[in-house]
Amino acid sequence: MAFKPSDKRKYVSEEAELNLLPILNMIVVLIPLLLTSSEWVRLGLLETRLPPAAAGGGGGMATEQEQPLPKLSLLVAVDQEGVAVSVFGATSTSTEPGRYKYFPRNPTGELDFAGVNQELLRIRREIVKPSIKGKEQAFDAAGNLRYNSDGSPIMVDAYGFDDAETVIISAPNELPFQQLVSLLDATRRWKDPNSNEIEKLFPTPMMGKIN
């Protein structure tokens, strides 16, 4: 009697293939969805305040102080030749050191935004920061107290100056908006080139015209 041939010989080794079609279907749907709904140009919002004459009442930082706080009166004034940075109402003829500095335009005609940025950092560190008196609750532009979403009060630094976070911008009529935005960037913050840490300077610009 002959033996039955072994079943093992009948098995043919087959390569097990993954069924990629469902994954492919999902990817084909996801890619167009992401492409159409993604933001390719990143937009931001640059907040500004009204010119001092139209603002009325000095904004929301006014507190129930009996004695009004002294004014820093930080002014960044652009003219045809360059940018002047002054505090406490100082002018080019003022004799007090560290209160007025003028930055002429670069040889290419560009405004010296880096110089202005450094000078504002100096003012912030040497004049404004030493005047911090502690913390107080923040006000919004309408003069109302501000709260976090959990109901806790939003606390900010209380300075010895009434306008410690404000910079008044003055510029000639023909200054292009892009240069104004670059100037506002220079007044708002300082970025450490080594550590990339950001230090707040004067985040509340008030645009006006000094005649």
Partner 1 sequence: MAAPTNMRKLSARSAKEENIPLASMMDIFTNMLLFLIMSYSATGLLVNQVDQLELPQSNIDTSPRSTVSIVVDSGQLSGTPGVYAENKGKRVQLLDEGSTLLAVASGAAAQDPAAMTLPGLQQYLRGVAVELRAREQQLGIPFDGQISIQADAAVDYNSILKVLKTCGDEQFVMTQFVVIKSE
Question: Which residues bind to partner 1, rule: CB under 8 A?
Answer: 17, 20, 23-24, 27-28, 30-31, 34-35, 37-51, 54-55, 141-142, 171-178, 180-182, 184-185, 188-189, 191, 207-209
* Residue 7 exposed, middle or buried by CB count within 10 Å (0-12, 13-18, 19+): exposed
CB of 204 to partner 1, least distance (A): 12
* Residue 47 or 126 having the CB closest to partner 1: 47
In angstroms, how far is CA 67 from the centroid of its own chain? 32
* Residue 167 exposed, middle or buried by CB count within 10 Å (0-12, 13-18, 19+): buried
Residue 137 burial (CB count, 10 A):
13
* Residue 48 or 131 having the CB closest to partner 1: 48
CB of 176 to partner 1, least distance (A): 6
The rounded distance, in Å, linking the Cα atoms of 79 and 179 is 12
Rg (CA), the chain: 31
CB of 42 to partner 1, least distance (A): 4
CB of 75 to partner 1, least distance (A): 15
Q: 209 by DSSP, 3-state: which?
A: coil
* Residue 84 or 184 having the CB closest to partner 1: 184
* Residue 3 or 40 having the CB closest to partner 1: 40
> Across-strand partners of 136?
156
CB of 113 to partner 1, least distance (A): 11
* Residue 156 or 158 having the CB closest to partner 1: 156
For residue 92, what are its two tokens? 């080019």
Residue type for 67, please? Q
